[in-house]
Amino acid sequence: MENKELVLRANIVVALFRATNEQTLFLNKELNQKPKQVFNIWQKQGFKLQDELDKVNLVNDEYLNGLTDYFHDAIDILVKKFKEDEKNKGID
């Protein structure tokens, strides 16, 4: 795999982690203690991965920020589409 593709793929993984992590903020208000603990452990491990990839110059802030935004947009589209589908089916 050429280096450009490796950098892009590494940034996609980190951006997916970041977007998922940021989306969990919506859930934390609703969850009890155990799921919050699991998210916390998962979050720490994800940050460790990001740090390790950064050490070998595989994290590019420009890629990372743009990709994270794309994931947030995709999540918003999925939520909107799901709500529309449920509304059309008469399920609330």
What is the structure's pLDDT at 80?
94
The CA distance from 41 to 87, in Å, is 36
Task: Give whole-number Cα distances, 71 to 7, 14, 32, 45, 52, in Å.
Answer: 17, 11, 26, 20, 22
Residue in this structure with the two tokens 């589908």, named with its chain if needed = 85
Instruction: Report the interhelical angle of 3-28 vs 61-89 (nearest 10°).
Output: 50
List of residues 6+ apart from 19 with CB closer than 8 A: 68, 71, 72, 75
| Domain locations along the chain | 3-89
pTM (predicted TM-score): 0.74
Share of the chain above pLDDT 70, in %: 97
